[in-house]
């Protein structure tokens, strides 16, 4: 074999490989923007949901911590003061006039004052809050057990999800209120609570007063703050952007167990 030819052939091959590498990379960037490909990749996270649900016992508990493990200050993430006049009026009055509406596919739609909620079975837990960004913080939460609350309104048999409607608008102009949804397995998990206390104090506005969801086996964005209304539904595709939550509508996964 002629050495010169071989070298040219090889340098051509090297260039082809390098070119292919660069193209692949550019292709990866490009393909991220197409919906179909994003859906293919989304299969990974769908599989995670299925496998975690198979693997995890229904009542598997998230780790609980001691007071000493608590973060000195529990970081306020997302909205810290909802830009909503109605909410601000309620807050100014110490939420004395606050009502949590619970409706949708239920036999007995009801509304609850904070005193009503405090009278229902509660739970206190010191847990770690994992943000999708990668940081975590540990805090102590007390709240009404969501399962106990839902039993009082008698969900219809076809209910599959609980939707949390919130008081904090995500757009400057006051539109696009935050919302989230979870399935019934999570709703009836013993650690799933609507918290009204954080670190033995009334829940501060920065952390979602007067009520926020604690869903300890999923990431922080599932744990809606400033919850004002629960809606029990069979399907969430008609609510908001149709993906089951504010961040889900921005491309994050509905199941945030990973």
Partner 1 sequence: MTKSKRAVNDGSLYYRHSLPVRIMHWLIVLSLPILLMSGLNIFNANSELYWGKSSYAGSPPFLALQSREGDDGEIVGMTRIFGHKFDTTGILGASKNQEGELEGRGFPSWTTLPDVQWLAMARRWHLFFAWALAITSTCYVSYSVIGRHLRRDLLPNKMDWRSIGQTVKDHLHLRHPTGEAAKEYNVLQKLAYLSVVFVLIPLIILNGLGMSPGMDALLPGWVDIFGGRQSMRTIHFIVSWALVAFTAVHLFQVIVTGFWNNLRSMITGKYRIPEEAKHE
Site residues for partner 1 per CB under 8 A: 10, 28-29, 32, 38, 40-45, 47-48, 52, 55-56, 60-65, 69, 71-73, 75, 128, 130-138, 216-219, 247, 250-253, 256-258
Nearest distance in Å: CB 29, partner 1: 5
Nearer to partner 1, 24 or 152 (CB): 24
Pairing label, strands 227-233, 100-104 = parallel
Nearest distance in Å: CB 170, partner 1: 15
Nearer to partner 1, 109 or 257 (CB): 257
The encoded tokens of residue 142 equal 């007390």
Nearest distance in Å: CB 144, partner 1: 21
- Contacts of residue 60, defined as CB under 8 A and 6 or more positions apart, other chains included, come to 217
Nearer to partner 1, 212 or 217 (CB): 217
Burial string for 230-256 (b: 16+ CB within 10 Å, else e) reads bbbbeebeebbeebbbbbbbeebbbbb
Q: Establish how many alpha carbons lie within 13 A of residue 95's alpha carbon, considering only the half-sphere containing its beta carbon.
A: 22
Count other Cβ atoms within 10 Å, centred on residue 47. 10
Nearest distance in Å: CB 8, partner 1: 14
Nearest distance in Å: CB 111, partner 1: 31
Spatial CA neighbour of 252 closest among 164, 109, 165, 131? 131
Nearer to partner 1, 23 or 47 (CB): 47
Largest CA distance in the chain: 91
Nearer to partner 1, 22 or 96 (CB): 22
């Amino acid at each position: 074999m002629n050495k010169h030819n071989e070298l040219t052939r090889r340098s051509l091959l090297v260039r082809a490989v390098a070119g292919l590498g660069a193209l692949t990379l550019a292709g990866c960037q490009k393909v991220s923007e197409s919906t179909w490909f994003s859906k293919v990749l989304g299969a990974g996270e769908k599989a995670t949901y299925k496998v975690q649900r198979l693997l995890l016992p229904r009542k598997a508990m998230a780790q609980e911590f001691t007071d000493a493990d608590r973060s000195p200050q529990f970081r306020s993430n997302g909205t810290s003061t909802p830009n909503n006049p109605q909410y601000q009026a309620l807050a100014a009055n110490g939420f004395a006039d606050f009502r949590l509406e619970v409706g949708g596919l239920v036999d007995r739609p009801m509304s609850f004052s904070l005193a009503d909620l405090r009278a229902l079975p509660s739970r206190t837990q010191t847990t770690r809050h994992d943000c999708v960004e990668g940081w975590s913080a540990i805090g102590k939460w007390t709240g009404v057990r969501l399962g106990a609350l839902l039993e009082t309104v008698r969900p219809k048999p076809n209910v599959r999800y609980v939707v949390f409607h919130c008081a904090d608008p995500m757009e400057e102009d006051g539109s696009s209120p935050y919302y989230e949804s979870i399935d019934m397995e999570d709703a009836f998990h013993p650690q799933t609570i609507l918290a009204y206390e954080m670190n033995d104090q009334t829940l501060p506005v920065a952390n979602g007063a007067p009520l926020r969801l604690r869903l300890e086996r999923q990431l922080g964005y599932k744990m809606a703050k400033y919850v004002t209304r629960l809606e029990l539904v069979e399907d969430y595709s008609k609510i908001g952007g149709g993906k089951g939550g504010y961040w889900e509508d921005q491309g994050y996964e509905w199941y945030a167990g990973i």
